């Protein structure tokens, strides 16, 4: 009876569906007919499923358990009947009608989306797993809806995109493509099954983007040149959907940033050249010349082997680099959403134009040198930036440039020398700012990079305590009146970049007592230590009471060597060159440097026909000296002196690099024992990359040195192989 009842119901459903199709009104739209009858049929299927509960529970269950195929519960039987006897007959016409509606919607017409939604739901519901009636599949939906829908979508957008591109610009096309992709994404949410999203969007991306990638990529440079941020953002948004298309953009972006960086530096160089050309040889008279010496000189460069090397203002140079970086970093973050590939391209471009530009004609060491000089001007008391927050912001910007500098050892050398001068001459604007900068360098390069810088601060602190102890000692021993008001910095030789000068110096009698008192005090306190006095770094103030035109007198700020010269004039008002050489004990070159500023400022006068440094030339104390200032600074380094110091610093850097390369070679060989020459060089370059980029020729020279020193040896059977000698 169960089998008979099941068969009769199955036959009835088939007959009912056949009559349904036969009685269909041809004038009624197919989709309206289909969705209406589908709703009625599925509702009726639910009802009869309940009517035949007993059949489902006993006969149907037993048949299914025994493995009989094509036996379903009554609800599933109804769906299978609809699929086999109605759906399979009209599905082609239904899809044609659905695709026509979707095309109308894409063309901007209003359609009844509910019809499509109901059709899609029926396609999904008809996906039955015939081996397990409790499971559903998307086979019917995929085969009869999704495949023709995707094919129609591809054809539609292929035609539209080609037509639109032939009549409109790329920027307009990108807007159109972006709009179409958004529409398709919305279409999935409105009436498609969610599983269709990936194949649909992928198809649209291939047709709208991938097939037109060359045309879109060709527009990239134009948009960059015109700073079209929104269009660049739109282009990235489209091409990022097809990741392999971004490589060309990243390469073009890197080239563009590097070119813009080079242009920016060229403008700085041209401005410096113009300033140098327009700068006349204006010279003041008397004290006015000394006042001019206090102003920073823009013109420092001289013609070199590669042409005229113009010295640019460090501040202007660094700000030009930062301006380019900020502009394109903002572009990366906004238009390219901070994508790692574009960040990497920006970093590569910045590294190139920071280290190799029109200013760096002699190598990549010029940028770190100028960066260190900019730091020096910022951290000095004379800096125009006084607000702590503003200083911190500028320091952060400096670290941005520092990140791209290849020769970080050059920056370290110049920075440490300038820091030493700031500390010794008490020129630091803020200890907090100095500490902040060192902290940033430590974070970027490690403890070893800043260990000596931190020790310099420690020495200054200890020296302040030492000076206080010395003054207390002088008061206790009642020798205070024998000691001048002075301050001493005792610095660790290994940590301070202070080069000792070979010039002798006879300490003036006025300073001898103070010198001896402190020398004795220090030796008693630290018996095992030796003090080396760096008089060339010392400075002081002299009160000039001899000048007739001034009632209160002038205060001269001078170097110790200049003080040694001027104090001679307490006993006489005129001296010959030979007499000054003998009395001061200075070398001719050092005395010339000390005297030149005093003579230019007219503190000392020399006969018009006499030559500075000539043996018989006489130098008179100018009793009629005049200046607008009461306190006048004569302790200003000359241009030649600064240039010599810079050259010496670069020589020291080269010597240090040789030792670092040798140490790296030994370190690598000690670990690996045996290595080929090429692999050894690669390892050494990788180890030293954080400090500087060693040249292959320098590595080869250092290998030869280590071969001579017998740290390593060549293999007899393979001259390209080295082995470590323990």
Q: Which of 576, 604, 637 is the last residue of a domain?
A: 637
Cα 703 from Cα 711, distance rounded (Å): 9
Give pLDDT tens digits for 352-365: 999 999 988 777 78
Same domain, 60 and 132: yes
pLDDT of residue 549: 67
Longest dimension (CA), the chain: 145
- Domain-embedded: residue 131: yes
Residue with the two structure tokens 């091409």: 239
Element spanning 392, H or E: helix 388-404
Same domain, 655 and 671: yes
Residue with the two structure tokens 């602190």: 461
- Residue 675: which domain range? 642-724
Q: Which of 137, 170, 188 is the last residue of a domain?
A: 137
- Domain-embedded: residue 353: yes
Same domain, 130 and 158: no
Q: Which residues contact 153 (CB under 8 A, 6 or more apart)?
A: 184, 200, 203, 204
Same domain, 648 and 612: no
Q: Which residues contact 387 (CB under 8 A, 6 or more apart)?
A: none
Mean pLDDT of the chain: 87
pLDDT of residue 283: 39
pLDDT of residue 298: 39
pTM of the model: 0.78
Phi and psi torsions of 409, nearest 5°:
-70, -30
- Domain-embedded: residue 20: yes
Same domain, 67 and 183: no
CATH number of residue 21's parent domain: 1.20.1310
CATH number of residue 621's parent domain: 3.30.230.130
Same domain, 606 and 662: no
Same domain, 126 and 7: yes
pLDDT of residue 306: 38
Give pLDDT tens digits for 631-661: 899 887 756 567 777 777 888 888 888 899 9
Cα 14 from Cα 80, distance rounded (Å): 10
Give pLDDT tens digits for 326-375: 999 999 999 999 999 999 999 999 999 999 999 887 777 889 999 999 99
Give pLDDT tens digits for 579-632: 999 999 998 888 888 888 898 889 999 876 677 777 778 899 988 888 888 889
- Domain-embedded: residue 230: yes
Same domain, 98 and 174: no
Q: Which of 594, 617, 637 is the last residue of a domain?
A: 637
Residue with the two structure tokens 């920006």: 346
Same domain, 13 and 34: yes
- Domain-embedded: residue 510: no
Our count of domains for the chain comes to: 5
pLDDT of residue 132: 65
CATH number of residue 688's parent domain: 1.10.10.10
- Domain-embedded: residue 331: yes
Cα 555 from Cα 48, distance rounded (Å): 116
Same domain, 703 and 687: yes
CATH number of residue 201's parent domain: 1.20.1310.10
pLDDT of residue 210: 94
- Domain-embedded: residue 489: no
- Domain-embedded: residue 53: yes
Same domain, 250 and 359: yes
pLDDT < 50 stretches in the chain: 281-308
- Which tokens is 529 given? 């230590």
pLDDT of residue 424: 87
Cα dihedral across residues 439, 441, 447, 452: positive or negative: negative
Q: Mapping DSSP to helix (H, G, I), strand (E, B) and coil, where does residue 445 land?
A: helix
Number of helices and strands (H, E) in the chain? 30, 11
Do residues 14 and 81 make contact, with C-beta atoms less than 8 angstroms apart? yes
Same domain, 230 and 251: no
* Residue in 706, 720, 719, 711 with CA at minimum distance from that of residue 673: 711
């Amino acid at each position: 009876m169960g089998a008979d009842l099941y068969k009769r119901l199955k036959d009835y459903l088939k007959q009912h569906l056949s009559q349904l199709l036969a009685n269909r009104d041809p004038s009624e739209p197919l989709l309206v007919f289909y969705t209406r009858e589908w709703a009625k049929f599925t509702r009726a299927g639910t009802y009869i499923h309940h009517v035949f509960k007993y059949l489902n529970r006993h006969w149907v269950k037993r048949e299914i358990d025994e493995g009989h195929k094509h036996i379903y519960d009554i609800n599933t039987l109804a769906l299978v009947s609809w699929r086999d006897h109605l759906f399979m007959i009209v599905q082609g016409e239904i899809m044609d009608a659905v695709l026509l509606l979707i095309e109308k919607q894409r063309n901007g017409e209003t359609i009844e989306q509910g019809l499509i939604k109901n059709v899609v739901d029926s396609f999904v519901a008809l996906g039955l797993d015939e081996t397990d009636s409790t499971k559903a599949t998307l086979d019917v939906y995929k085969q009869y809806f999704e495949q023709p829908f995707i094919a129609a979508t591809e054809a539609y957008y292929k035609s539209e995109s080609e037509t639109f591109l032939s009549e409109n610009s790329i920027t307009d096309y990108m807007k159109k493509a972006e709009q179409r992709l958004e529409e398709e994404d919305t279409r999935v949410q409105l009436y498609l099954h969610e599983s269709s999203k990936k194949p649909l969007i992928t198809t649209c991306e291939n047709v709208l983007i991938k097939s037109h990638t060359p045309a879109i990529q060709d527009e990239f440079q134009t948009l960059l040149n015109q700073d079209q941020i929104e269009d660049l953002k739109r282009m990235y948004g489209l091409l990022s959907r097809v990741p392999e298309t971004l490589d060309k953009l990243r390469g073009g972006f890197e080239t563009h940033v590097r070119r813009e960086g080079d242009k920016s530096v060229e403008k700085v160089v041209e401005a410096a050249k113009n300033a140098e050309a327009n700068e006349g040889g204006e010279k003041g008279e008397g004290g006015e010349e000394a006042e001019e010496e206090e102003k920073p000189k823009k013109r420092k460069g001289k013609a070199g082997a590669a042409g005229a090397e113009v010295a640019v203002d460090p501040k202007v140079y660094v700000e030009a680099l930062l301006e380019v970086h900020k502009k394109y970093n903002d572009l990366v973050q906004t238009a390219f959403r901070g994508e790692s590939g574009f960040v990497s391209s920006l970093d590569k471009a910045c590294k190139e134009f920071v280290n190799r530009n029109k200013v760096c004609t002699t190598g990549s060491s010029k940028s770190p040198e100028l960066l260190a000089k900019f730091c020096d001007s910022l951290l000095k008391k004379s800096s125009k930036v006084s607000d702590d927050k503003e200083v911190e912001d500028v320091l952060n910007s400096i670290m941005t440039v520092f990140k791209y500098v290849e020769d970080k050892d050059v920056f370290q050398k110049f920075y440490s020398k300038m820091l030493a001068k700031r500390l010794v001459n008490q020129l630091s604007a803020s200890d907090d700012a100095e500490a902040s900068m060192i902290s940033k360098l430590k974070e970027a390069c490690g403890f070893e990079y800043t260990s000596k810088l931190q020790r310099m601060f420690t020495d200054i602190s200890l020296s302040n305590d030492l000076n206080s102890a010395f003054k207390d000692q002088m008061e206790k021993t009642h020798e205070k009146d024998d000691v001048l008001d002075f301050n001493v910095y005792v610095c660790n030789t290994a940590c301070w970049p202070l080069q000792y000068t070979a010039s002798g110096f006879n300490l003036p009698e006025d300073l001898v007592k103070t010198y001896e008192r402190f020398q004795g005090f220090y030796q008693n306190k630290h018996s095992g230590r030796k003090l080396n006095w760096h008089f060339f770094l010392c400075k002081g103030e002299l009160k000039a009471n001899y000048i007739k035109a001034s009632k209160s007198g002038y205060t001269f700020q001078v170097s110790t060597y200049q003080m040694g010269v001027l104090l001679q004039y307490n006993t006489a008002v005129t001296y010959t060159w030979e007499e000054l050489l003998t009395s001061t004990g200075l070398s001719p070159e050092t005395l010339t440097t000390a005297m030149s500023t005093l003579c230019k400022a007219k503190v000392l006068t020399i006969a018009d026909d006499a030559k500075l440094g000539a043996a018989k030339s006489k130098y008179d104390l100018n009793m009629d000296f005049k200046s607008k200032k009461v306190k006048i600074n004569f302790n200003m380094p000359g241009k030649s002196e600064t240039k010599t110091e810079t050259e010496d610093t670069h020589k020291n850097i080269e010597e240090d690099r040789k030792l670092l390369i040798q140490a790296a070679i030994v370190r690598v060989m000690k670990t690996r024992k045996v290595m080929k020459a090429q692999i050894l060089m690669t390892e050494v370059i990788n180890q030293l990359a954080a400090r500087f980029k060693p040249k292959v020729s320098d590595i080869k020279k250092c290998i030869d040195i280590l071969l001579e020193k017998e740290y390593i040896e060549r293999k007899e059977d393979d001259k390209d192989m080295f082995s470590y000698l323990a």
